[in-house]
Each structure stands twice: as C-alpha cells, then as structure tokens.
Structure 1
Amino acid sequence: MSTTAPPAHRTAWTAVLASIGAFVTSLDVVVVSTALPEFQAQLHAGLSDLEWTLNAYNLAFACLMLTGSALGDRFGKRRLYVIGLGVFTAASAACALSGGVGELIAARTVQGCGAALVLPLSLSLISDAFPPEKRGAAIGIWGGITGLGVAAGPVVGGVILQYWDWQWVFWINVPVGVVTLLLCLARMPESYGRRPQLDVRGVVLAAAALFALTWAPVRAPEAGWGSGEVLGSLAAGAVLLTVFLMWQRRARHPMLPLGHFRDRTFSVANATTFLLAFSLIGSLFMIAQMFQTGLGHDPLQTGLRMLVWTGMPMIVAPIAGGLSDRFGNKPFMVSGLLLQGGGLLWLSRAAEPGVGFGSLVLPLVVSGIGISMVFPTVANAVVGSVPATDSALAAGANNTVRESGGVFGVAVLAAVFAANGGYGSPASFMDGFRHAEIVAAVVALAGALVGCLAPRRPAAGPLTVARHRPAGAPAGADRARTPGAVR
C-alpha cells in the first residue's frame, strides 16, 4: 500500500478547486437575499414566497450535508463533489429560467441539495490533500475564500441588480461551475473514506431529524414559537435524533461514529461552531437590514459598508490558519469569540438613528477579525481530531452544526427584534436591533467560555489510517495517510 503523498501540483489544484466550490455556495446564500425586492416585483411573490426562496435552499442545505459526506466516503469524495457542482450549476440555470415563484422555489431546493454535497466535501478534500503540519494554513485559505463569498454577496448582488436583471444573480454561477467541474475531472485526485457499505437507515434518519429540527426555527417567525407546528416539529426532531443515535450505536457501518464525540476537541469545536454561527448569521441578517432600513442605504451601498466586517476573513483567516499550525487552535477559537462578542456589544451601543458610518467601522472590524480567527481553526480542529478516513463525515457534521446554528440565530434574533422594536421608524428599528445584537454578543461570549474547555494539545499522538478501497474503486485509492495530533 503506497504512502506517497499527492504531487505538489495536484495538492495545489485540490486546494484551489475545492475552495472555488465553497466560494460559490457561500456566495449564493447571501447574494439571493439582495434580489428579494426584484422577485416580489417581477414574479409577483408574496412575503411567504420570498421567505421560501431563502428557506428552501437553507433547509435542503442543512438537512443533506451529513448525507453528502457519507456518500462521498462510500463512492468517492471527488466524484460526489463533482456531482454536487453539476447539480448546483444546473439548478442555478433553472433558477434563472424560472417563470414563476413556484418554479424558483423548486429550483432553489435542488440548488441546496447540490450545495450540501459541495461544501463539506470541499473541506474534506483539502484535509486529505495536505499533511498535518500544513493543514491549518490550507484550511485558513479555504476559510478566507469561503468568507470572501459571504463578503462579496451583497456587493455582487447590488451591482447585478443595478445594471442587469435579477436572473444574472443565478447565471453568474453557471460558467464558474462548468469550468470548475471540468478542471476537477482533469486535475483533482480521488479519495475515499473507509466505509465499505452505506448506512442507508442512518442516512434517512439523519435527514429526517435535521429536517424537523430545522423546520421549527424556519417557521417560528410566522407560526410562533408556541404554535403546535413549531413545538411538534421540535418534538419530532428530538425523537428522530434519539432514534438516529440509538441506531448509530448498533449499526455495523455507522454513518457518524459516535465515539468521535468522546474526543473533547471534536465536541468543543462543534459546540463553538454552533454558537459562532448563531451569533454571526443572525447578526448578518440584522446588520444588513440596519444599513438599509435603519440608515436608508441601498443594497450596493450596504454591501460596500459591510465589507469592513464580512471582508475580514479574506485577510485574517489564512493568517490565523497558518499560525494555528504552530500555536494550536484553542487560542484562536477563544480569543476570536471574545472579539466577536465584544465587537457586537460595541456595535449595539453605537447603533442609533442617523449614526455616521465612521462610528460603526471599528466595532465591525473587531467583530470581523474575531470571526476570521474562529472559523478556520474550528474546522481544522474538527477534521484533525478524527482519522483521515473520517474527515468527510467530520466536515459534514461541522457544516451541519454551523448551518443549524445560523438558522436558529436568525429565528431567535428576529424574535428578540420583534419583541423590542419594529419597522415603523428608524428609531423603532434601532431599538429592536440593539437588543438583538446584545443577545448575539452574549451567545458569542458563551462560545468563548465553551472554547476554554478544549484541550491545549490533545494527548493522542499521530495515527496512521489506511484508506479502504471500495469495490470498483481505482487502484491506489487506498493510499495511507498520517493525520497527526490535533493542536
């Protein structure tokens, strides 16, 4: 069994192509929100329809990431990554060609299914391609490019809507997707997990549990947190999750080995991911509205102003990822969440009707630096705390946790906003905004406390794990890899 590392040019191609996939799926999460007024005007969409152009994507995305990771382990990570890119690209074209809001929502659902394959497998492919001593830097670059997608979303959306039709919000994905797909087939090596069989029952139970748990916060703003629909969805999700965990204990080839959660690094990193995503995505939802509704800026002006916050990962994430290879992940996880929480508290104090942009720059920069320190280091901690053959499932679990945290963050902060303010006037909006951001800050600071529970340097030493080559996989697919200890 060969232990030769992939050629340097193949490793570089993997890093670039996997990061592009993460970029386009992250961009799409944000850019579509800028086009909602155009959907309303040109497709005659109601408020509920507008919500579902976002929710359909997010639900499919959150529910199927674990499934996508399991399929990648079994049938090949590059193969499923390419399939995901193909589905995402074709669905983007279908979105652009939609003649009504129902067609758009259906296409957005398919788009989310493709993204659920792309994002977790992009992280796993990078983790497989790089040795432990370089993995943090590589994941930092991946995190920076992924963050660039979030940062560019409002700006790209604003430019497109100012000069072109809303369909180009989706058409821009097509050439990028096609070129990336072809380059993946030509330049990216294949890799496999160790599972010779697919845990079909586990896949179904996981998807059903995640759907029920995600449906509740998605519907809560309209139906109410105390409604039978929301409470029933939460209860059903809890039952399905319990059944899934019980099955994973018994399954011969579990899709998510529960033993990983006994590793403190793995558990703490996922918990901090949830709390960071709750704070970050919820705040992204609120801050974008603050600039438009509270301060009267148009979408392009809003996107440009938000770059001081959302653009930080492009600069800081690669640096933090590289330094984590030397100093470990924990210092960056904890200090980053402290900066995120402190920046949001500062922002909540500074926000008031008519406030100048200069008063908001520093708190947004501080918060953005904190975000940029945490995301690459928690991703590195998660994939580095498991055997190499489980990296896809670890990445899938972490991305699922992140997406779920974001969904709950938007729902909870929206509820806090509604209870303390409203859209009647800029003053009323800012009242609700301040309360919502205080909650977001407290959640981020709680994440810093959780991060303190992570071991400074886990005791487990390097672990060599062979890749099992499934029947029909090409020769050399069982190349061994030594992941090394997580720091």
Structure 2
Amino acid sequence: MRKWLPLVAICLGAFILLVDVTIVNVALPSMASDLHASFSSLQWVMDMYALALAALLLAAGSLADLFGHRRLYAIGLAVFALASLAAALSPNAAALITARAVQGVGGAAMFATSAGLVAATYQGRDRGMAFGVWGAVNGAAAALGPVLGGLLTQGIGWQAIFLVNLPIAVVAVVLTLRVLPAGRRGAGRLDVPGAVTFTVAAAALTYALMRGGDHGWTDSLTVIAFVLAGVAAAAFVVAELMTSHPMLDLSLLRRPTFSGLLGGALLYQAGAFGGLVYVSLWLQNVLGLSPIRGGLALMPLAGAAFVAAAVAGKHSHRFAPALPIGGGLVLIGAGAAVLWQSVSAGSHATSLIAGLAVIGVGVGLATPVLVSTAVDAVPANRAGMAGGAVNTFRQLGMSLGIALFGSVFTSRMRHVVSHGGGVRAAYASGLDRIFLASALAALVGGVLVFLTVHRPTPGGDAGAGHRPAAAPEDAAVSAG
C-alpha cells in the first residue's frame, strides 16, 4: 500500500487544481449577491484562473526542468493553498479575482509537474496502473467541480469551495516531501521574453472578447486589446525564434499530429466546459434551484466522464490515438447539439441529462490520451514541452470559451429583452447560442484531429522519434 502514497500525493494536487476550474460555477449567484459583483466580474472570477493556468504552464514547465519537479510541485501546492485562503476571505470582487489569479500561478506549477512525477516514481506494470488512475482523476475532476461546489455553497457558504483546498493541500505537501523522489535539477534558463509576451497575448485576447460582448466590437478599448494581443503574439513568435531555450519550439508546429492536437485541445476544452458557467446561472437564477440541486443537475457529465476515462485509460493503447481523441470531440459536439435541441424557455433541469451524459463520455474518452499522444509525436528532448503546450492550449480554450460564450450569451439576452422577451426566454435564447457554438467548436476539433493525428511510427511524425506512452520521466513532464 505504501508504494501508492506518491500517487495519492500527485492525484490530490491534480484533483484540487482541476476541480477549481469549474467549482465556482454554481457558487456565482451567491458570490454576486455577497460581493455585489457585476456579470463581467463573474466572468473574470471564472476566467482569471484558467487564464493564469494557460499563460504560465509553459514557463512552469521550464522552471520544473531547472529546479526539480518535486520542489516546484510542493511550492505550487503552497501557493495554491494560500491563494485559496485569500479567495475565501475576499471582501469584494476585485480581491477575489486577484486571488484567483494567484491560484492559477500555483496551479500552473502543479499542472506542469504532476505527470512527470508519476513517470519518475513508477515503473513497469505499476506505471501503467498509476497513469490509469491519474488519467481518471484528471478526466473527472473538472466535471465534478459544479457538484462539489453546490454541496459546499449550500451547506456552508461559497467561501467553503476555497477553504476545502487547504487541508487537501496540506496533506499533499506532507506526502510530497516524504514519499516523492527528489529528482534532479536541469540545465538551461527560463525564457522570460517568451513567458511575458505569451501572457500579454492571452490576457489581451481574453479581455477583448469579454469587452466586445459588453461594449461592442468597435469600442476603442476592445480594438486596442485585439491589436495588443496581435502585437504580443507576433513578439512571442520572434522571441521563440531568437532564443536557444524557447518555451515552445515553433518547429514542432510543422508536425501535423502535434499542431492538430494543439487545435483539438483548445476546441475540446472550450466545447466541453466553456458554457457550464452559464448553464449554472440558468439553473439557479431562472429555474430557482439551490446550489446543491444545481450542481447535481450537472452530475451526468461528471459520472459519465469518470467511467469513460477509467475505461479509456485502460484500453486506449489498442487503438490509433485519433479514435479516442477525435471520437471524444465528436461526442462532445453531439452532446452539445442534443442540449441545443433540448433546452428551451419551458425546459427544466431534466432537459440537460442526455446531452451532458454524452458530453461526459466524450470528455472521458479524450482526456487520458490527449497529452501522451502529443508526447509521442515529438522527439524525446521535446516531450515535456509538448505536454505543456497541449495543456496550455486546453486551458486557453477554457479561458477563451468562457469569454467568447459570455459575449454571445449577453448580446443574445439583450436582443431578446429589447424585443419584449422575458427573463426565462432571454436565458434560454442565450444558452441556445452557446450550445450551438459549443457543438460546432467540438465537431471542428474532431474533424481536425481525424485529419491530422496519426499513430506514431519509428522515426515519429514528420521525423519525430517514437516514444511509448509511458515513456521515461522527461517524456511526461505535463499534466491533464
């Protein structure tokens, strides 16, 4: 039993960081009431965490290579716990948004190291079993967030969704320092220009999408934010081409499998999770459900994801990777399409069951093999970078999905209300557009994966060296 304690330490961290992507969904109405927060503030409470994860994952992976994975993982847990405490004590929306950003900093350190720690700790059959458990935790954590959020918010208060992280993080830190291998420190240096320009580009694009929905797409600040995002993205490309230690080796984008997986990862996260926050608002603000019942209404997604992830993690090696990943995306799109047809002004929570269950199966199929396939598609010395890049695009998809869907949601609601529609009709119309956009995003992602992702062969995709899924430590310096 003792041999599995390192896995417990790693899975505890992975669980709380991924649960916190979605745990605030059902708590948003309570937060808005207590903190007197606007709708745009609520978006930032959700988006700031995912944005910090996306912007800092690649940099965190570089730091882990320099200073050791266990050390950075423990530091990430500590930062995450302190930020969770600050979030629970926040007196206003600005303080909460700031705390969520710091949570994302700690989460990025944990996210960038957990899979590498699994690979460094276990060998042979134990390694396969460890990655299966870890993959199931990753597959279900984000889906379980709304359920746990509802239970804690109604039973104790919205502050509890952050306070619950503290004892879990303490246990994870103690186990990490006692049972995880120390590993070794690497060489090289941090790509500071790349980290700064990528962060600015991601933040500016997210802000532009949010502001565009509220103030119009020709608003001066919206346009400035889009321009800044474009300039920062161009600067990032230049920075990566000029440095000898890039966060992202741009030559990897010439490999069809790798670039296809990046696009698929972004569309996967946006399609599966980007709209959940608005579903939670509908369940509580329109249908009048309690936080617990609102969370339980999303349980079909969580349950289906957990079961499918456990099965996929065990058997996916028998199939070409495009099948579980692309098939998972298609199922997410199909589930969103079912929701698009099922939810109307007269609907109730039961209208969500079928669509959410189908989405959950898709999430469970795609998650366990998404990162390992990216790792397989590149040379061995770029494996950690590949895993970090895929997870970065996943979280960027979450951040951009929330922002873009929020713009669609608010503009559609305004249109319906301005034409005499009631609140129930306005919410239903907004969700209708979100479900349609989610379906299209996921289906496009599925087609992209089927067209570009191929099983690695000796010599690799476009010349990459072949790597088995459970490769040595440096092959799995990634998470999620």
TM-score tier after normalising by the smaller chain length: 0.7 to 0.9
CA shift for structure 1 position 121: 1.9
Aligned to 1:89, what secondary structure does the other structure show?
helix
Distance between the aligned counterparts of 1:457 and 1:343, measured in 2? 27
Alpha-carbon displacement from aligned partner over 1:116-161 (angstroms, at most 9, x marks no partner): 2112322333355566998776545334213433233222222222
Alpha-carbon displacement from aligned partner over 1:140-189 (angstroms, at most 9, x marks no partner): 53342134332332222222222223322221111100110111111112
Distance between the aligned counterparts of 2:285 and 2:31, measured in 1? 19
CA shift for structure 1 position 374: 1.2
Distance between the aligned counterparts of 1:167 and 1:357, measured in 2? 25
CA shift for structure 1 position 294: 4.6
Alpha-carbon displacement from aligned partner over 1:431-457 (angstroms, at most 9, x marks no partner): 332232112111111111101123432
Aligned to 2:80: 88
Task: Name which of 321, 328, 332 aligns with 1:336.
Answer: 328
| Kept after mapping to 1: 8 A contact 2:68/2:186 | no
Distance between the aligned counterparts of 1:26 and 1:114, measured in 2? 12
The answer to whether structure 1 residue 326 and structure 2 residue 318 are counterparts is yes
CA shift for structure 1 position 85: 0.6
CA shift for structure 1 position 271: 1.0
Structure 2 letter corresponding to 1:88: F
Alpha-carbon displacement from aligned partner over 1:303-345 (angstroms, at most 9, x marks no partner): 1121101332211112112222222311111211121111211
Task: Name which of 458, 461, 473 aligns with 1:460.
Answer: 458
Distance between the aligned counterparts of 1:458 and 1:438, measured in 2? 34
CA shift for structure 1 position 403: 1.5
Aligned to 1:392: 384
Structure 2 letter corresponding to 1:19: C
Aligned to 1:468: none
Aligned to 2:309: 317
> What stretches of structure 2 of length at least 5 have no aligned partner?
none
The answer to whether structure 1 residue 175 and structure 2 residue 167 are counterparts is yes
Alpha-carbon displacement from aligned partner over 1:255-312 (angstroms, at most 9, x marks no partner): 2222322222221111111111121122323332343345332221121121101332
Matches within 5 A, 1:146-165: 146-165=138-157
Root-mean-square deviation (CA), in Å? 2.9
| Kept after mapping to 2: 8 A contact 1:340/1:441 | yes
Aligned to 1:414, what secondary structure does the other structure show?
helix
Task: Name which of 169, 179, 189 aligns with 1:187.
Answer: 179
Structure 1 letter corresponding to 2:337: L
Alpha-carbon displacement from aligned partner over 1:164-217 (angstroms, at most 9, x marks no partner): 233222211111001101111111124468642222333333333333233322
Alpha-carbon displacement from aligned partner over 1:409-438 (angstroms, at most 9, x marks no partner): 223323333444457332332233223211
The answer to whether structure 1 residue 28 and structure 2 residue 20 are counterparts is yes
CA shift for structure 1 position 388: 4.8
| Kept after mapping to 2: 8 A contact 1:275/1:447 | yes
Aligned to 1:186, what secondary structure does the other structure show?
helix
Aligned to 2:8: 16
The answer to whether structure 1 residue 257 and structure 2 residue 249 are counterparts is yes
Task: Name which of 417, 431, 446 aligns with 1:433.
Answer: 431
Structure 1 letter corresponding to 2:95: E
Deviating more after overlay: 60-69 vs 205-214: 205-214
Matches within 5 A, 1:55-204: 55-129=47-121, 138-191=130-183, 195-204=187-196
Aligned to 2:297, what secondary structure does the other structure show?
helix
| Kept after mapping to 2: 8 A contact 1:329/1:380 | no
Structure 2 letter corresponding to 1:105: I
CA shift for structure 1 position 392: 3.5
Shift of the 259–30 alpha-carbon distance from structure 1 to 2, 3 Å rule, reads same
Distance between the aligned counterparts of 1:330 and 1:31, measured in 2? 30
Distance between the aligned counterparts of 1:250 and 1:23, measured in 2? 37
Aligned to 1:98, what secondary structure does the other structure show?
coil
Structure 1 runs (4+) deviating above 6 angstroms are 131-137, 479-483
With normalisation by structure 1, the TM-score equals 0.85
Distance between the aligned counterparts of 1:176 and 1:375, measured in 2? 24
With normalisation by structure 2, the TM-score equals 0.86
Matches within 5 A, 1:341-380: 341-355=333-347, 357-380=349-372
Aligned to 2:288, what secondary structure does the other structure show?
coil
Task: Name which of 265, 273, 298 aligns with 1:273.
Answer: 265
Aligned to 1:299: 291
Structure 1 letter corresponding to 2:277: F
Deviating more after overlay: 132-141 vs 71-80: 132-141
The answer to whether structure 1 residue 219 and structure 2 residue 211 are counterparts is yes
Distance between the aligned counterparts of 1:427 and 1:378, measured in 2? 38
Alpha-carbon displacement from aligned partner over 1:357-414 (angstroms, at most 9, x marks no partner): 5554222212211121112221221233334554433232112211211222223323
Aligned to 1:238: 230
Aligned to 2:449: 451
| Kept after mapping to 2: 8 A contact 1:78/1:190 | yes
Structure 1 letter corresponding to 2:118: I
Distance between the aligned counterparts of 1:77 and 1:335, measured in 2? 33
Identity of aligned residues (%): 34
| Kept after mapping to 2: 8 A contact 1:96/1:171 | yes
Shift of the 439–55 alpha-carbon distance from structure 1 to 2, 3 Å rule, reads closer
Aligned to 1:296, what secondary structure does the other structure show?
coil
Distance between the aligned counterparts of 2:126 and 2:380, measured in 1? 14
Structure 1 letter corresponding to 2:215: A
Distance between the aligned counterparts of 2:466 and 2:372, measured in 1? 18
Distance between the aligned counterparts of 1:480 and 1:360, measured in 2? 41
Distance between the aligned counterparts of 2:359 and 2:318, measured in 1? 24
| Kept after mapping to 1: 8 A contact 2:45/2:96 | yes
Deviating more after overlay: 271-280 vs 235-244: 235-244
Alpha-carbon displacement from aligned partner over 1:88-134 (angstroms, at most 9, x marks no partner): 01111222233444433332222221112112322333355566998
Deviating more after overlay: 136-145 vs 325-334: 136-145
Deviating more after overlay: 353-362 vs 172-181: 353-362
Shift of the 48–331 alpha-carbon distance from structure 1 to 2, 3 Å rule, reads closer
Structure 1 letter corresponding to 2:402: V
Aligned to 2:24, what secondary structure does the other structure show?
helix
